[in-house]
Amino acid sequence: MLDDGFVSAHRRETLLAVAARLPRGYRGGHRERLQAVVAQFDAVSSSLRAADLNPSGWLDTARLAEVLTSACDPATAARREGLPAWPMPPADGVKERWASMVVGTGFHATYWVSEWPRSATHPGFLQPLLLGDTGTRVLSVIAEPLPTARALREIRKAKVEHAADAAQRRRIGQMEDEATRAEVADLQRREADLVAGNGDLRFTGLVSVCAGTEAQLEDRCVALETAAAQAMCEVRRLVGQQGVAFLAGALPLARGVL
């Protein structure tokens, strides 16, 4: 028979943070600007429902304060569970280190997903990252829309670099590997999508780990690196950038890419 010692259900909380920017040259008063931003948020909610997702609604100030407190200092948030929420999370000491971040009683380390799977994979490839160490990891995927002209320039620049590398390989008699061919094929697909009128997004993946002690943090960092390898991803610890990385990866504030 299976009992609670062998079976436990974990529920992940999924948050969507949106940063809206009005078009350049937009004219209008404060009320009109606010209405334009609200219209964009309503469009996001409609798109989520059209994708068969069920958003619970935008967070109010009290709920956002709880989320930020839980991300910064989980131990304090657990002690206050069931108590009235703070109007804003209190500052209980922040110390940035070379490879970690200390906020209150929590020790944090943030990683950048430097390589995603290069080949086609199943939709649940992130399962090792999401299901391990429940409550101690935060995975953030940041999608930044790129203007069409800028995206085309970046794609064509990358294609020129690949062509130059290919010419150099032919001169020295080096074979082209499968990874390079996959990158070129991806560039061609993105360019074709842009020419067809579709938009382009720049994706950045960040993973934050939290622990109660520094030794426990290092153990969980090792477990994270192992889980990333199982998910066919490569991660790099953002040394020297932990403060900025923590704000972008652990807090749902739509801070944007690093």
At 124, give phi and psi (nearest 5°).
-95, 30
Interatomic CA distance for residues 70 and 103, integer angstroms? 11
Coil, strand, or helix at residue 92?
coil
Return the structure tokens found at 20. Answer: 């809206």
Task: Please report the pLDDT score of residue 90 as a whole number.
Answer: 52
pLDDT along the chain (258 residues), means of 10: 49 82 70 82 89 86 83 65 52 80 88 87 85 77 88 91 88 83 87 88 90 90 92 92 89 73
Interatomic CA distance for residues 76 and 92, integer angstroms? 10
Q: Please tell me whether the overall predicted TM-score, pTM, comes out greater than 0.85 for this model.
A: no
Other CB atoms within 10 A of residue 101 CB? 24
The overall longest dimension of the chain from CA atoms, in Å, is 70
Judge whether 206 and 248 are in contact, CB under 8 Å. Answer: yes
Return the domain boundaries, the chain: 149-195
Interatomic CA distance for residues 201 and 77, integer angstroms? 35
Q: Enter the DSSP assignment of 234.
A: E
Other CB atoms within 10 A of residue 199 CB? 11
Task: Please report the pLDDT score of residue 98 as a whole number.
Answer: 92
